[in-house]
Chains A and B, each alone.
Chain A
Amino acid sequence: MKFGLMVNEGPYTHQATDTAYLFAKAALEKGHKIDRVFFYHDGVNNATRLTEPPQDDRHIVNRWTKMAEEHGVDLVVCIAAAMRRGIREENLAPGFRISGLGQLVESGIRSDRLVVFGD
């Protein structure tokens, strides 16, 4: 099955981003396809390469980057939400790209399921 994901909450503050990652990982392991992960609201904070968690904690941003590199998952950050929150090309982690809300609608159209992670 082809899944589109939407992540609406910031990393570390909220479980949603962890749940989205674990869902994506499990789906890929089962042979499903993750068409795209779309980051919206505070979810755009998943994309900053300035993120530096304590060493004994999971690195949420690098985890997404690794998933993009290994499985070709398209990580898209909403431009309007990103600009409000200071996320720009200059501080974008590898594997992420900035684009518009149309990418979310498109993913909803062409995926078998669009799964929303947030409050």
Chain B
Amino acid sequence: MVISMINLTLYKKEMKQNMLIFLIFVSLTILYGVIVSALFDPVAEGLGWMQIMQETYPEMLDFIGFNVAQFNDYQYFVSGYLYGMLFILFGLIYINILSNRLIYRYLDRGSIVLLLATPNSRTKIIITQIKVLGTYIFALTMSMFLITGGFGAIFNPAYVDFGKLFYLNISFCIMLTFICSVMVLCHCLFEGKLAQGLGIGLPIIFFFMRLVSNLGDNYEIASYFTPFSLFNPMLCINYDALSFVYNGILIALSIVLFGFTLFGFNKRDLSI
């Protein structure tokens, strides 16, 4: 079903052409994954420098998304240091680069007409491009899972819970897919700088809203204006029922936005 909705030739070409960027981001993930995994020391005597920082400047660390609830739990440790800010930023930048390369650039330059001058519908072409994005988002989050899980197992095998890490990364994948749907929608509906600006601007605004909402009760209202609130690593690690609800909401919103994208893309005038 999914195969028939995409053009396999185009899919393979795009997968091949975007492999290098994927490998660069996986390398970055490995770099940070190794560092954070190596820093985890569940039996450390006294406070580590990060604990000292967290106790001294909690608001600042909250603001930049470094928030570790338990320093002797690998899952909390990893999610606090990587999934609060770093991996989210990696994901945002990566999706934006991909969406630019796979959709915005083709529409802006007009090269999309070359693809549409073949016997393939607009829907099929755009679904193929979205499928490439989806594949790479899944691959990136699974790399994150394997890297954090793998290095954790090397350094502290007794503390790694692969099931929890897997669910954390699946939830993260769903979050990134939603962000992807926002970017793709902007790139398909709008033109020129507006498309590019909204494509990266909206997710960045969402991201900073999340950071602001971390600052405490006074700023909690910001959490209602960012979809990043629907990705809570702590809830995921504890398999909290609310995380399943959040994931369901994100999936539903993504489907709706991709639906708007298909509709808008089919109605859009193209360069000739």
A binds B: no
Using a CB–CB distance below 8 Å, which chain B residues touch chain A? none
Chain A positions within 8 Å of B, measured between CB atoms, are: none
